[in-house]
Amino acid sequence: MDNQLQKKEPKRVPKDTAIQETENWRSILKPVMGDKVIRGFFIPIEDITAIANMHQVSGMRGYICLTDKNDFSSISFIVVPVDENNKDILTEKNGVSEEEISTIYDFTRPCPAFCDESSPLYSG
């Protein structure tokens, strides 16, 4: 197994570092997006659990997407399961019909819209 995929302690980010880094994100995008800067994504625990329970999954990978290539506010965050060889698992066999079905999930709710406006990570 690749050293990068070996189990390790979760990386905790100090609060002040997280506040500064989220401010960095907002400041670099504000000239492009104005007040519509996407500040984060809410991911329901049920969706995380569904991916974690897949067979031969060592983790998950997220990709940032635009549903409309000309509209920054159409940002979304898709997640795919990752196997023990650090490869994205994009499809799996349907157990009933054996057809290929997608394992790519877009279950995120972007912020703004679904935000904790009282969080220092929201406003800095």
Strand 75-82 with 100-102, pairing: unpaired
Measured in whole angstroms, the distance separating CA 26 from the mean position of its chain's CA atoms is 17
- Domain positions in the chain are 14-123
Q: What is the rounded average pLDDT for all residues in the chain?
A: 81
> Helix or strand or coil: residue 75?
strand
CA distance 23 to 107: 25
Report d(CA 23, CA 18) in Å as an integer.
Answer: 8
In angstroms, the CA 71 to CA 23 distance is: 22
Q: Percentage of residues in the chain with pLDDT exceeding 70? A: 90
Q: How confident is the model at residue 20 (pLDDT cuts 50, 70, 90)?
A: very high
Region 39-57 average pLDDT: 82
pTM beyond 0.85? no
Specify the higher pLDDT residue, 110 or 6: 110
Predicted confidence (pLDDT) per residue in 74-122, tens digit: 778 888 899 989 999 998 887 788 889 888 888 667 777 778 888 888 8
